[in-house]
């Protein structure tokens, strides 16, 4: 198996050095705390707070989305690994403004376990109320009747964007949880991979594909998708992805959506825009209106080649929060 070349120092310290560099790139907009925690560097307002997090290796997710109109803080684990309960508690204390903290993260077993432990410790030891929204947008991971078995992939971004705006507009943790849960329930994604990412400490690819193979529905860590097949023209691949995506919610004629074409790491902008062209044609044929489009690297998997397509069905409430101002290292609106 061919090792992946990376220009790093000590791979065992890559998460700490990555976060240090991201924090410095914010030029004072964020603060880096012990435990691989980044928080917004601003006066605390009396509001429910938003804490996001998960494994590193998916940059700019999660640390890149800390700032006004987005998350109050992010807690980051090692590459493709959940943050520890102790770090989650420390991050919860750092962002709490007296009205509780909402956790938003992808639906993975390690994150679920550690955030649940962190929530229990925060409530019992620190008297901080918490609520949780687990993003389960990957339609290839499990059928609709098993939503709790679905992974969180690029749909995390739309849920974070809505929740971040709502956290600055509502008074209670319960109302923030309602809005974030609504955003999550209306979001669906599917990805495709043509080559693997890797783990920096080993340099080994996380999976193998033949030179002429692709995997439709591949997860962000290399988890199996819906099917493996031969490489085909872009329009055929997008059609297969959209066939799985549109029926899942289901999305229907007259719907208005936000669209995200996410680069998984090393695909070119050319490939993403070619895909967007076909996605927009399929949506138009289905009578679905696109309110806004985002194209770029929102959640990556090291140098994995491929992309994902995310749709969030909108109503006036979700649209308002999605369009609200936001500012962070990785995203501004």
CA atoms within 13 A on the CB side of 90: 15
User: Is position 58 annotated as part of the catalytic site?
Assistant: yes
What's the whole-model pTM score?
A: 0.97
32 pLDDT above the threshold of 70: yes
Q: Do 109 and 258 sit in the same domain of this protein?
A: no
**Phi and psi (nearest 5°) for 180?**
-65, -40
Q: Do 133 and 225 sit in the same domain of this protein?
A: no
Nearest to 33 by CA among 79, 75, 85, 78: 75
Q: What confidence category does residue 332 fall into, taking pLDDT thresholds of 50, 70 and 90?
A: very high
The model's pLDDT over 38-93, given as tens digits with 9 standing for 90+, comes to 999 988 889 999 999 999 999 999 999 999 999 999 999 999 999 999 999 999 99
Q: Do 123 and 196 sit in the same domain of this protein?
A: no
Centre a 10 Å sphere on the Cβ of residue 119 and count the other Cβ atoms it contains. Answer: 21
Q: Which two tokens stand for residue 307?
A: 């992309």
The model's pLDDT over 236-294, given as tens digits with 9 standing for 90+, comes to 999 999 999 999 999 999 999 999 999 999 999 999 999 999 999 999 999 999 999 99
Residue of 161, 221, 282, 313 with catalytic role: 221
Contact between residue 170 and residue 248 where contact means Cβ atoms under 8 Å apart: no
Q: Do 164 and 208 sit in the same domain of this protein?
A: no
183 pLDDT above the threshold of 90: yes
Report the pLDDT value the prediction gives residue 186, as an integer from 0 to 100: 98
Report the pLDDT value the prediction gives residue 202, as an integer from 0 to 100: 85
User: Is position 177 annotated as part of the catalytic site?
Assistant: no
**Which residue matches tokens 């998997």?**
301
* Nearest-angstrom CA–CA distance, 236 and 326: 36
Q: Do 33 and 172 sit in the same domain of this protein?
A: yes
- Count how many domains the chain has: 2
**Which residue matches tokens 């620190």?**
126
Residue of 58, 150, 151, 161 with catalytic role: 58
Residues 6+ apart with CB under 8 A from 68: 40, 42, 168, 325, 326, 327, 328
Q: Do 116 and 223 sit in the same domain of this protein?
A: no
The stretch 2-7 carries a mean pLDDT of 83
CATH number at residue 51: 3.40.50.10440
Given 186, 206, 238, the domain boundary residue is: 186
Q: Do 101 and 112 sit in the same domain of this protein?
A: yes
Domain hosting 93: range is 12-186
Question: How much is the mean pLDDT over the chain?
Answer: 95
* Nearest-angstrom CA–CA distance, 49 and 248: 31
Q: Do 27 and 73 sit in the same domain of this protein?
A: yes
Q: Do 179 and 284 sit in the same domain of this protein?
A: no
Report the pLDDT value the prediction gives residue 101, as an integer from 0 to 100: 98
The stretch 90-112 carries a mean pLDDT of 97
Q: What confidence category does residue 161 fall into, taking pLDDT thresholds of 50, 70 and 90?
A: very high
Centre a 10 Å sphere on the Cβ of residue 234 and count the other Cβ atoms it contains. Answer: 13
Nearest to 74 by CA among 45, 55, 52: 52
Bond into 218 cis (ω within 30):
no
* Nearest-angstrom CA–CA distance, 156 and 273: 21
* E strands present in the chain: 30-33, 37-40, 49-56, 73-79, 101-106, 130-135, 187-195, 213-216, 227-230, 256-263, 289-296, 305-313
Given 152, 186, 220, the domain boundary residue is: 186
Report the pLDDT value the prediction gives residue 76, as an integer from 0 to 100: 98
233 pLDDT above the threshold of 90: yes
**Bridge partner residues of 40 (DSSP):** 30
Q: Do 297 and 308 sit in the same domain of this protein?
A: yes
The stretch 107-133 carries a mean pLDDT of 97
The stretch 176-187 carries a mean pLDDT of 98
Q: Do 138 and 211 sit in the same domain of this protein?
A: no
Contact between residue 79 and residue 15 where contact means Cβ atoms under 8 Å apart: yes
Report the pLDDT value the prediction gives residue 166, as an integer from 0 to 100: 98
Q: Do 237 and 155 sit in the same domain of this protein?
A: no
* Nearest-angstrom CA–CA distance, 49 and 176: 9
**Phi and psi (nearest 5°) for 145?**
-75, -5
CATH number at residue 316: 3.30.1180.20
DSSP at 58: S
Q: What percent of the chain has pLDDT over 90?
A: 88
Report the pLDDT value the prediction gives residue 1, as an integer from 0 to 100: 56
């Amino acid at each position: 198996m061919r090792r992946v070349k990376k220009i790093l120092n000590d791979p065992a310290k890559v998460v700490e050095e990555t976060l240090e560099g991201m924090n410095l790139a914010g030029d004072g907009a964020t603060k880096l705390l012990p435990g691989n925690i980044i928080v917004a560097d601003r006066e605390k307002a009396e509001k429910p707070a938003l804490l996001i997090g998960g494994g590193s290796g998916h940059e700019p997710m999660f640390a890149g989305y800390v700032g006004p109109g987005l998350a109050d803080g992010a807690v980051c684990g090692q590459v493709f690994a959940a943050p520890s309960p102790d770090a989650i508690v420390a991050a919860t204390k750092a962002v709490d403004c007296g009205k509780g903290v909402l956790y938003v993260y992808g639906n993975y077993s390690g994150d679920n376990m550690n955030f649940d432990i962190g929530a229990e410790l925060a409530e019992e030891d620190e008297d901080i109320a918490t609520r949780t929204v687990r993003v389960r947008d990957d339609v290839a991971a499990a059928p609709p009747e098993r939503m709790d078995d679905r992974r969180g992939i690029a749909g995390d971004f739309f849920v974070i964007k809505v929740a971040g705006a709502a956290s600055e507009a509502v008074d209670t943790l319960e109302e923030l949880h309602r809005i974030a849960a609504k955003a999550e329930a209306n979001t669906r994604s599917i990805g495709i991979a043509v080559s693997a990412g890797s783990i920096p400490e080993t340099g080994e690819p996380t999976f193998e594909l033949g030179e002429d193979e692709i995997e439709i529905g591949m997860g962000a860590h290399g988890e199996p998708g819906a099917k493996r097949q031969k490489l085909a023209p872009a329009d055929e691949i997008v059609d297969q992805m959209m066939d799985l995506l549109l029926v899942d919610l289901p999305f229907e004629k007259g719907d208005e959506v936000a669209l995200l074409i996410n680069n998984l790491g090393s695909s070119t902008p050319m490939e993403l825009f070619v895909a967007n062209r076909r996605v927009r044609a399929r949506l138009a044929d289905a009578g679905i209106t696109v309110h806004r489009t985002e194209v770029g690297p929102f959640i990556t998997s090291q140098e994995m080649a491929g992309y994902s397509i995310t749709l969030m069905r909108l109503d006036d409430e979700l649209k308002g929060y999605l369009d609200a101002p936001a500012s962070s290292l990785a995203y501004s609106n």
